[in-house]
Copies of this chain bind each other. A is one copy, B any other.
Amino acid sequence: MRQDQQRVDMALERYLPPAVEVPATIHESMRYSLFAGGKRFRPILLLEACRLVGGEARKSLPAAVAMELIHTYSLIHDDLPCMDDASLRRGKPTSHKKYGEAIAVLTGDALLTHAFEVLTREQVAEGVPTEAIVEVVGLIARAAGTMGMVGGQVLDIQHAGTGAGIRPEQLSEIHHRKTGALIVAAVEAGAVLGGATFEQRESLTAYGRNVGLAFQIADDLLDVHGTVETLGKDIAGDVARQKITFPAVFGVEASRQMGVDSLIRATQALEGFGGEAAYLRALAEFVVSRAH
């Protein structure tokens, strides 16, 4: 996992505009948030999905980098004063605290835009066929848009404060869009770039859906139990803002069980791959174990 993280970090550095390029502020602020200690979970999922179906991980590095660019943009915009109003992220001042709100908004915009430049120019440079590029851009854009991540964020804002009144399906739907959609897009993009069969792609999508759910539940549980030191962000922020979370709706124990169930379903989805899928299974376990 560390090796993949390093590979992603090197590719990020390579595919970003040089830090000294004018205007330097924005290239600096892009790097500030990108190299703040992210685990590169989405890129690693993408690389490994590609490998598992027999593709070359090198060719999927641009798409892996694009996932991290999009994920990081979403964190910067979510942290803004008009959204979560967060001061800390991964133990460091958030983008708007460090660079001011205008630059933070623009840094998010720049990261999102740059993702699509990397998805085209750098994938072409790596020799990815244009049919695969177009498919990957389309599925990532859809997952990041109003039917996915942005839509989930809107629903989350609209439901904040309604607390325990929400129906379980609504909660799952919101979290599927907000977190799950991009995770599914990561494994799907890896599958497309690796030349997956229809069945392989279906299995990986099912894995992604369940890992995404497990990931969100783990995150919610961490927010209840974590400290500033372990989380690197304001504690119990979700509780304070009356955000709808799994523990708030189902309680801590039931949420933990739901996380374990998702992990089991994620692992089952990989059965057809046999021993080759050990890494993806370990990644799923890693996600859930964080919350225990």
Binding site for B on A (CB under 8 A): 17, 21-23, 25-27, 30, 73, 77, 80, 82-83, 100-103, 105-106, 108-110, 112-114, 116-117, 119-121, 123-124, 130-131, 133-135, 137-138, 141-142, 144-147, 150-151, 153-155, 157-158
Contacts and interface: CB of A to CB of B under 8 A. Distances in A.
Given A100-B82, A109-B77, A154-B25, A134 B124 contact: yes
A113 B108 CA distance: 12
Contacts of A110: 145-146, 150-151
A145 to B, nearest CB: 4
* Stoichiometry, copies per complex: 2
A120 B109 CA distance: 20
Per DSSP, chain A at the interface is helix
Contacts of A133: 130, 134
A26 B113 contact: no
Contacts of A116: 116, 137, 141
A114 B157 contact: no
A93 to B, nearest CB: 16
A83 B109 contact: no
Contact of A120 (B21, B82, B138): B138
Given A83-B102, A110-B145, A117-B138, 16 more contacts: A23-B158, A27-B146, A80-B102, A82-B100, A82-B105, A103-B154, A105-B105, A106-B150, A113-B146, A116-B116, A116-B141, A117-B141, A120-B135, A121-B142, A130-B131, A134-B134
